[in-house]
Amino acid sequence: MAARRKGDAVDGVLLLDKPGGITSNLALQKARRLLNAAKAGHTGTLDPIATGLLPLAFGEATKFSADLLEADKEYEATLALGVRTTTADAEGEVVETRPVAVTRAQLEAVLAGFTGTIEQTPPMHSALKRDGRPLYDYARRGIEIERAPRSVRIERLVLLAFDGAAARVVVECSKGTYVRTLAEDIGAALGCGAHLAALRRTRVGDLTLERAVTLAALEVMPAAVRREWLLPVDALLGDLPRIDLGDRQAALFAHGGQLDLGVPTEGPGRRRVYGPDERLLGLAELDERGVLNPRRLISTENAR
């Protein structure tokens, strides 16, 4: 007989301001313990060196955690010019140093060249897998694996501060963008080399850091107050169009039934679906004929 999972049935989304120096999984487990939650998951990891927004899903919200992987991200990044490292960030060993003679105008011109759709080669120190093993396993053994470049999109790349040796920038980018690779490529374009000295994530989709809480703050709160920081289950679906159903349609949908809603005016695609009591029923796919197909359903009456 399987052991019963410890903790309460907690449903919702916690926006965590992750500290540097710990993995996303460790941050998740600490938050889970503080909320005494039986089920938890994250919506995509941050490197240990990175700080900032880490949305965590609890209970029924874990059914939608993968949907946030597709969302655009925003970061504040600090680039150290003149120094290249093995990992393209501050955790790696220094492999090259060069003098820096870059003006602000030169830097801004190079940044402009990285805006839009660009090609990136994934770094060896990454979790991408080859033959079932992450690339960082090969990198630690000194093995270089050929990686195909892939397209990512940089929506915005703005210089916030520059002192001649370090640059602080805002990066708005698509999923799959490696900011440390971007830092290294910018350094190469400048001719002096660079690495990512610091990284802070400020936005994921429509979720922002302003609503986030730190682990340190959660630890000193009364236990009952901690759960007040939870957002509703549908906080992970805020960028999707909404469909509201009446009693009869909601009952059919909640049991996995398809619904013919007629040709959609907003076009086909994913929809978040609600019942007449404003309760989230789940996630669905609306096809071009207007047929609503359930994909993931909420199974608890306690989901908000």
Cβ atoms of 13 and 303 closer than 8 Å? no
Catalytic residue among 8, 11, 17, 47: 47
Cβ atoms of 28 and 215 closer than 8 Å? no
Strand order in the sheet with 259-260: 242-244, 269-274, 280-286, 291-297, 259-260
DSSP 124: S
* 88 Cβ neighbours under 8 A, 6+ residues apart: 123, 125, 178, 180, 181, 183, 184, 195, 196
Measured in whole angstroms, the distance separating CA 73 from the mean position of its chain's CA atoms is: 7
- The rounded radius of gyration (Å) of the Cα atoms in the chain is 22
Measured in whole angstroms, the distance separating CA 153 from the mean position of its chain's CA atoms is: 15
- Residue length of the chain: 304
Among this protein's residues, is 17 annotated catalytic?
A: no
Cβ atoms of 163 and 52 closer than 8 Å? no
The residue to which tokens 């660079």 are assigned: 194
239-270 in b/e burial notation, b at 16+ Cβ within 10 A?
ebeebebeeebbeebbeeeebebeebeeeeee
The residue to which tokens 């400048």 are assigned: 190
Half-sphere exposure of 182 (CA within 13 A, CB side): 33
**Catalytic residue IDs:** 47
